[in-house]
Amino acid sequence: MRKLSPIDTVDREDNAFSLSTGDLMAGLLFIFILLLMGALLQVQEKAEQDEEIVRRYDQVKTQLYIDLEEEFKDDLKVWRAEIDSTTLCVRFQEPSMLFDNNMSTLKDNFKAILSDFFPRYIDVLTKPEYRDNIEEIRIEGHTDSNGEYFHNMQLSQDRTRAVLQYCMGLLDSSNIEWSRTLITANGLSSSHPILRDGIEDKSLSRRVEFRVRTNAEKQLEDIASKRARRD
C-alpha cells in the first residue's frame, strides 16, 4: 500500500475543511430563512391585528351613532343640536341658548337641555356593548375669533367646567364613579372655528360639544403614530 505523502495529507485536510464550510453556509442560510419567515409571520400577524382594530372601531362607532341618533332624534331640532356621524360629536350650537355674552354661567334654557340630555347620554354610553370601550368623554367649549385669544381660552374653559359641574350633579350614584374616570372639560378658545365656504361662521363657532373617544380609536392613533415614526 502506498504511503500518503505530505501533499496528499494537505489535500485531504483541505477537502474536509471545504465540506465543513459548505455545511456551515447551508446551516446559516437555513437559520436566515427561518428568521425571515418568522419576521414575515410577525408582520402578517400585526397587520391582521391592525385590521381587526379598524374593523372593531368602525363597528362600535357605527352602532353608537345609530343608538345616539335613535335616542335623541326627537330632541335635536328643539335643542338646536346635531350629532356628527364621523366624530360622534353631539354639538350644541345656538349661543343664545347656552350662555350670555362673555359669561360662563349656564342659561336656564341650557340647564333644562342638559338635564334632559346628559343622563340619557350616559345611559347610552354605559350599555354593555360600549361601557368597556369608552376611553374618554370630552366636554369641549369653543368661542369665535372675536376678542383676545387667551381671554377666550379662559372663558371657554370656565364654560366647560360649569357644564361639567352641572352635568355631574345630574347623575345617579351608579354612574358617578364611572363617569368621573372618563369625563374631561376642555376649553379650546377659537382654535376650531366652524367655517362656511372658507369663512368663519361666528355664531356656530360659539358652541359646546360632547365627544366620545373609544379605546379602539386610541389604538388607531397609536398605530398611525408608529407608522409616522417609521416613515
> Is residue 133 a contact partner of residue 216, using CB atoms and an 8 Å limit?
yes
CA distance 37 to 63: 39
Read off φ and ψ for residue 146, nearest 5 degrees: -70, 145
Q: How many CB atoms lie under 10 A from the CB of residue 10? A: 11
pLDDT digits (tens, 9 = 90+) for 129-181: 999 889 999 999 999 999 999 999 999 999 999 999 999 999 988 889 999 99
Task: Look up cell 331640532; give the residue.
Answer: 77
pLDDT less than 70: residues of the chain: 1-20, 22, 43-54, 57, 217-231
